[in-house]
């Protein structure tokens, strides 16, 4: 993130950042009435410069958005401002106004949204408006720079010759094939103590590691996604279920318990997911520590306000209204599409960034519930690139 944005977010809005709060929100009497010159309906189908080949967007009134009058928009504005470090072509013209509103009250922010944006319900090409919400987070582990009696599991930087779109060795081959091991020799970034923790880091795609450097200085570094072996992702939980295991939650505690009781089958469990992730190390300032890792859009994720999507359904940088109710959490809130994942595929599909640390991890492991989405797109008169 550019230094100007860091300063703005760090000194002005950082106090509003909340990691996935789901408690009661301050209610308003209701959303302001849109100006008469901007009728909500009828509207033509949305066609524009940013393609969304896996979904169709259906114009919808603001009243269709569950909880719109109750969301804590000041929290969401952090993600909107971060989004403006690398906005998509449709949102970029609005960034100046959004920055000016960073200290406005929620009623002003809500009125601005209704004046400048139009909700479109996201549906599959066949008209299905419901989908699935899962969640992910940024774990924190203790690690070491060099292997020792405790820390024996390496986390690697990408090997030379790794190419996007070209399959590399599977997870099992990385552990067993001499050519793969030779390619990774010297690429170790850190070492962890538990192979299940390493697997979790691979599944989440990023994490933080607490280190004691050789000079005795303790520091925390971020390991960010730097590439994959381009092998398919397979769910470890599904593999456990196929083996007759009935207790798979909470993750990873249940998995660690199973591994401790079945040490001779640990490698089978690990190898059930052939996908393998490589990382790069990033130092963290105090401002960096308040945000999540950079998503696929290239901007830091905001806890509770960033989602991963299928970019063929929703372009990166798009504000989205998310509605999901389930046993884990009820979410009706403004989020921003800022990331993706190999398992996040389909029109109405999202992965909710819960934040950093164990509490966020407990929430993320429990979320698997129904989902509805509305993209919030600039109104037609502000879209010069739209026909």
**DSSP state string for 114-175:** HHHEEEEEEEETT----EEEEEEEE-EEE-BSS--SS--EEEEPPPTT--TTS----HHHHH
For residue 354 the two structure tokens come to 């819960």
Rounded Cα distance, 53 and 347, in Å: 9
In this predicted model, which residue has the larger pLDDT, 307 or 19? 307
Query: What's the CA gap between 94 and 364, in Å, rounded?
Result: 32
pLDDT of residue 214: 76
The encoded tokens of residue 238 equal 């599904």
Given its phi and psi angles, is residue 357 left (phi above 0), alpha (psi -120 to 50 degrees) or beta?
A: left
The closest alpha carbon to 87, from 77, 79, 95, 97, belongs to 95
Q: Who's near 52: CB < 8 A, 6+ residues apart?
A: 312, 313, 314, 315
Share of the chain above pLDDT 90, in %: 76
Q: What is the pLDDT of residues 69-124, one digit of tens each?
A: 999 999 999 999 999 999 998 999 999 999 999 999 999 999 999 999 999 999 99
Does position 10 have pLDDT exceeding 50, yes or no?
no
Q: What's residue 381's pLDDT?
A: 57
- CB distance 101 to 93 below 8 Å: no
CATH ID of 3-14+49-135+291-382, from 2.40.40.10, 3.30.470.20, 2.40.240.10, 2.40.10.120? 2.40.40.10
DSSP 3-state of 321: strand
Residue 234: the pLDDT is 94
Q: pLDDT at position 50, please? A: 55
CA angle 252, 193, 295 (to 5 degrees): 60
Banded model confidence at residue 41, pLDDT cuts 50, 70, 90 = very low
Q: What are the CA-CA distances from residue 119 to residues 67, 237, 333 (Å)?
A: 14, 36, 13
Mean pLDDT, the chain, whole residue set:
86
Within this chain, domains 3-14+49-135+291-382 and 138-287 share the same CATH topology: no
Query: Is the confidence at residue 255, as pLDDT, over 50?
Result: yes
**Cα separation of the two ends of the chain:** 33
Residues 6+ apart with CB under 8 A from 352: 20, 133, 134, 135, 136, 304, 307, 322, 324, 331, 335, 364, 367
Q: Is 83 helix (H, G, I), strand (E, B) or coil?
A: helix
At 207, is the pLDDT very low, low, confident or very high (cuts 50, 70, 90)?
A: very high
Interatomic CA distance for residues 17 and 305, integer angstroms: 9
- In this prediction, residue 380 has a pLDDT band, given cuts at 50, 70 and 90, of confident
Architecture of domain 138-287: Beta Barrel (2.40)
pLDDT tens digits for 286-337? 888 999 999 999 999 999 999 999 999 999 999 999 999 998 899 999 999 9
Domain boundaries, the chain: 3-14+49-135+291-382, 138-287
pLDDT at residue 38, as a whole number? 35
Higher pLDDT, 262 or 213: 262
Q: Which of 23-32, 183-192, 210-219, 265-274 has the lowest mean pLDDT?
A: 23-32
């Amino acid at each position: 993130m550019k230094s100007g944005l860091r300063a703005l977010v760090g000194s002005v809005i950082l106090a509003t950042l909340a990691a996935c709060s789901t408690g009661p929100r301050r209610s308003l009497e209701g959303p302001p009435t849109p100006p008469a010159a901007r009728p909500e309906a009828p509207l033509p189908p949305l066609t524009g410069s940013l393609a969304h080949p896996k979904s169709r967007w259906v114009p919808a009134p603001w009243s269709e958005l569950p909880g719109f009058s109750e969301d804590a928009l000041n929290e969401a504005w952090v993600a909107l401002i971060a989004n403006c470090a690398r906005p998509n072509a449709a949102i970029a013209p609005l960034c100046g106004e959004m920055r000016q509103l960073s200290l406005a009250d929620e009623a002003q922010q809500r009125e601005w949204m209704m004046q400048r944006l139009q909700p479109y319900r996201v549906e599959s090409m066949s008209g299905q408006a419901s989908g699935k919400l899962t969640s992910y987070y940024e774990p924190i582990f203790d690690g070491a720079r060099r292997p020792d009696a405790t820390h024996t599991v390496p986390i690697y930087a990408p090997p030379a010759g790794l190419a996007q779109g070209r399959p590399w060795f599977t997870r099992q081959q990385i552990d067993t094939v001499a050519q793969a091991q030779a390619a990774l020799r010297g690429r170790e970034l850190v070492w962890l103590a538990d192979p299940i923790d390493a697997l979790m880091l691979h599944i989440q795609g990023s994490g933080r590691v607490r280190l004691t450097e050789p000079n005795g200085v303790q520091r925390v570094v971020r390991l960010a996604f730097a590439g994959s072996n381009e092998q398919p992702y397979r769910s470890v939980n599904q593999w456990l279920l196929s083996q007759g295991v009935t207790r798979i939650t909470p993750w990873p505690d249940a998995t660690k318990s199973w591994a401790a009781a079945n040490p001779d089958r640990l490698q089978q469990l690990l190898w059930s997911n052939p996908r393998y992730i490589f990382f790069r190390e990033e130092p963290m300032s105090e401002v960096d520590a308040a945000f999540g890792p950079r998503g696929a859009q290239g901007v830091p994720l905001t806890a509770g306000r960033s989602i991963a999507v299928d970019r063929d359904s929703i372009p990166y940088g798009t504000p989205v209204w998310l509605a999901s109710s389930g046993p884990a959490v009820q979410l009706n809130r403004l989020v921003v599409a800022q990331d993706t994942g190999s398992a996040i595929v389909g029109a109405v599909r999202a992965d909710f960034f819960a934040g950093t640390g164990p509490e966020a991890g407990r929430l993320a492991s429990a979320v698997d519930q129904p989902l509805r989405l509305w993209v919030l797109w600039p109104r037609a008169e502000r879209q010069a690139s739209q026909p």
